[in-house]
């Protein structure tokens, strides 16, 4: 069943999927995007979730369902566009690379997704943002933009601060989960971010897991590390209970 709603001049199409939440069709600057929304009850605290570089897939939907079982609503963001779910590495690099080069667009897409989440019923006044890998980079960009959320969480995400940017406008706190064996995002990057956040007086918690490589939470992959995934998820759930 599809329901089309016009709220505040923004057209949002909601495709209801039995027991699995809702596909949310929305627009940002005239372009079409397809997110995913699930809520266990009205006004549940909201988690804004940002996908890895392969786009919004069943992985994010599974994580969203896991959070819904714990009482949280989740809006999984689409950063690439409706129907764009790149399978090839070169396509993933092209899509993410374009956004790395256009941070204003990255921020606009997050603001648009937050607006779509609100229109879908999400409680955006009681919300945190979290993301995986590329999504973690996006979440930190959103934090630097001054987004009015209670917290920002990154799982094995990019941690570098672009030249000319800082955390002077950041609201809420920051939680970082990182693998010590990550060769894509190094421990030097981890330490530099910690120093940057401390200098900016941003409340933060930064956790490292020994032997965990990049993407250590991705089920079924060669990089998956059950111990690090389990521990980071438990801490994330505790964090949500504290923040929301």
| Average pLDDT estimate for 187-215 | 98
Confidence of residue 16 (pLDDT cuts 50, 70, 90): very low
Q: Characterize the bridge pairing of strands 10-17 and 123-132.
A: unpaired
pLDDT in tens, 216-244: 999 999 999 999 999 999 999 999 999 99
Could you state, in order of their start, the residue ranges of all structural domains in the chain?
A: 2-243
Q: Characterize the bridge pairing of strands 21-28 and 31-38.
A: antiparallel
pLDDT in tens, 107-133: 999 999 999 999 999 999 999 999 999
How big is the CA angle at 98 (ends 31 and 149), to the nearest 5 degrees? 70
Contact in structure between 48 and 141 (CB atoms under 8 Å): no
Q: How far is CA 146 from CA 46, 50, 171, 172, 204, in A?
A: 18, 17, 6, 9, 16
pLDDT in tens, 26-83: 999 999 999 999 999 999 999 999 999 999 999 999 999 999 999 999 999 999 999 9
Fold of 2-243: Rossmann fold (3.40.50)
pLDDT for 200 equals 97
Say if residue 6's pLDDT is above 50.
no
Contact in structure between 131 and 50 (CB atoms under 8 Å): yes
Confidence of residue 20 (pLDDT cuts 50, 70, 90): low
pLDDT for 114 equals 98
Measured on CA atoms in the order 108, 110, 113, 114, is the torsion positive or negative? negative
In eight-state DSSP terms, residue 123 is E
Beta strands in the chain (DSSP E): 2-7, 10-17, 21-28, 31-38, 45-50, 73-77, 123-132, 151-155, 173-179, 204-209
pLDDT for 8 equals 38
Mean pLDDT over each residue of the chain, to the nearest integer: 93
Contact in structure between 158 and 185 (CB atoms under 8 Å): yes
Say if residue 25's pLDDT is above 80.
yes
pLDDT for 18 equals 37
Q: Which residue has the tokens 């980071």?
A: 232
pLDDT in tens, 133-176: 999 999 999 999 999 999 999 999 999 999 999 999 999 999 99
Say if residue 7's pLDDT is above 50.
no
- Give the pair of three-digit tokens for residue 139: 């979440």
CA-based max dimension of the chain: 51
């Amino acid at each position: 069943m599809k329901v089309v709603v016009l709220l505040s001049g923004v057209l949002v199409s909601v495709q209801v999927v039995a027991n699995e939440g809702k596909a949310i069709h929305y627009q940002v600057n005239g372009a079409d995007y397809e997110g995913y929304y699930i809520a266990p009850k009205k006004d549940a605290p909201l988690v804004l979730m940002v996908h890895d570089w392969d786009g919004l897939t069943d992985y994010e939907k599974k994580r969203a369902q896991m959070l819904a079982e714990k009482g949280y609503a989740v809006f999984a963001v689409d950063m690439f566009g409706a129907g764009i779910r790149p399978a090839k590495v070169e396509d993933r690099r092209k899509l993410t690379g374009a956004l790395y080069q256009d941070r204003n667009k990255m921020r606009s897409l997050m603001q648009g997704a937050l607006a779509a989440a609100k229109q879908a019923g999400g409680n955006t006044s009681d919300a945190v943002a979290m993301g995986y890998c590329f999504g973690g980079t996006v979440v930190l960009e959103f934090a630097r933009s001054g987004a009015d959320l209670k917290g920002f969480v990154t799982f094995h995400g990019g941690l570098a601060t672009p030249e000319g940017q800082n955390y002077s406008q950041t609201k809420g706190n920051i939680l970082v989960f990182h693998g010590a064996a990550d060769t894509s995002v190094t421990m030097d990057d981890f330490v530099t971010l910690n120093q940057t956040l401390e200098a900016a007086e941003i409340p933060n918690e930064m956790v490292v897991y020994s032997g965990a490589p990049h993407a250590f939470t991705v089920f079924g992959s060669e990089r998956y590390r059950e111990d690090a995934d389990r521990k980071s998820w438990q801490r994330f759930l505790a964090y949500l209970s504290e923040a929301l």
